[in-house]
Copies of this chain bind each other. A is one copy, B any other.
Amino acid sequence: MLHDDRLFPADPSVRSVARALYATVKDLPLISPHGHTDPAWYALNEPFPDPAQLFVVPDHYVFRMLYSQGVPLEKLGVPTVDGTPVETDGRAIWRLFAEHYYLFRGTPTRLWLDHAFSDLFGLTERLSAANADHAYDTIAEHLQRDDYRPRALFERFNLEVIATTESAIDPLTYHQQIAQSGWGGRVVTTYRPDAVVDPEFEGFHANIDALSELTGEDCCTLDGYLAAHRKRRAFFKAAGATATDHGHPTALTADLSAADKQALFDRVMGGPVSAADAELFRGQMLTEMALMSLDDGLVLQIHAGAHRNHNGPLFARFGRDKGADIPSATSYVDALKPLLNKVGNAPGLKVIVFTLDETVYSRELAPLAGHYPCLFLGPAWWFFDSAEGMKRYRQLVTETAGFYNTVGFNDDTRAFPSIPARHDVARRIDCGFLAELVCDHRLDEDEAYEVARDLAYGLAKRAYNL
């Protein structure tokens, strides 16, 4: 199913350079500095359940496509929050998935799935209604084996380090279990404070109470609230964290006077908050986080631009993260200015910015990253973690920001078996891009080898202090 030359440019001379470059990076260890796998997997090391629970039910890339063509999510076993019953028979779900496998033609999901089916489970035929049961049985058998448990897969995947993402008020129990287990796999956490930074987050005030309780700080005062963040950051850092992550609707940052900051804090904590205050508070907190990063060295990641839960009726039945988050136009030039003017020239600070609006790559983010010492560009994200998306990213970014203001690859996934495939796609696309530069004589071949290794391995370690 997997051709050795997949994703390489078609021209024979370019393909040959791409192949040679790729040969030197394909077996490098995987650095996964940003993702959403479940630390319980590595802590408990229990077998993954059936194929449908592994590949279909939790993967919104998969079920959104089927839903878009009329397949009800209930039939795909997606759990509801309103009590509506859903399909529980893994084989029935799998058959429905296999019947619709043609929908993924031309998508990255198809590449990732084929890669896992082939490399991990030894399947040799493209999935279809005809071979659905065979595939199901084969995968199910593998999942019972000890060498298909999470830790064994972690090692098989050649993961040097993986970062998970936890809420600021998560106790990090599983990370502590991993650390105490004696297992050698490196799993680090990431400080994600959205739940206590975004006044519009579900349960914001309860989250703030939990933060007070966890830290012994009085988060009803600004000083206590900021001190609580500092304590939790230290706690996360002790559990291996090298970075924080912030998922905001926009990239707005703010740099208020002390008085304005206090007044805003009081309004936010005091009761119903206006949309403008919520936005401003998130923006001010990004700057506060950057200031804390100057002290504790955590790398600050900003993920901006998703319109979450666009489909109201679907959200009511199934809850969040069901494939109905839609990117929207996002601007960075004015938005990031307060933070950048406050700390953007400070030595040692690292801010990594991600976007779902590709138009800002050449217009805003590459010019900003090609100037500010603190600023780095995250890789192509989410819908753009794909062959064409990655190509556009390099084409739009490199001429203004170069390679060294980018940070290598993030797999950003909850789908554990897709991790090797995702890194492999990135390595292939980057080698193809470099091969094109070599073949039209914009880059010498010896340089291309060095850059290929940096993009596949070195930049991620360096950018995330791993």
Contacts and interface: CB of A to CB of B under 8 A. Distances in A.
A265 interface: no
A398 B107 contact: yes
B402 A106 contact: yes
Nearest to A438: B10
A167 interface: no
Interface residues of A, number: 92
Interface stretch (A28-36, A65-73, A84-92, A180-188): A65-73
A126 interface: yes
B399 A105 contact: no
A307 B333 contact: yes
Nearest to A312: B341
A375 interface: yes
B403 A105 contact: yes
Interface centre among A369, A395, A451 (most CB of B within 10 A): A395
B368 A383 contact: no
A420 to B, nearest CB: 17
Interface stretch (A37-45, A256-264, A439-447): A439-447
A404 interface: yes
A68 B384 contact: no
Interface in A96-130: 102-108, 110-111, 126
A359 interface: yes
A20 to B, nearest CB: 15
A442 B372 contact: no
Interface stretch (A1-9, A132-140, A194-202, A290-298): A1-9
A366 interface: yes
A68 B373 contact: yes
A57 interface: no
13 contacts: A6-B441, A9-B440, A10-B13, A67-B373, A68-B371, A102-B404, A102-B447, A103-B404, A106-B442, A106-B443, A327-B333, A387-B399, A389-B399
List the 8 closest A-B pairs by CB distance, nearest first.
A3-B441, A6-B441, A106-B398, A386-B399, A328-B333, A312-B341, A10-B11, A10-B439
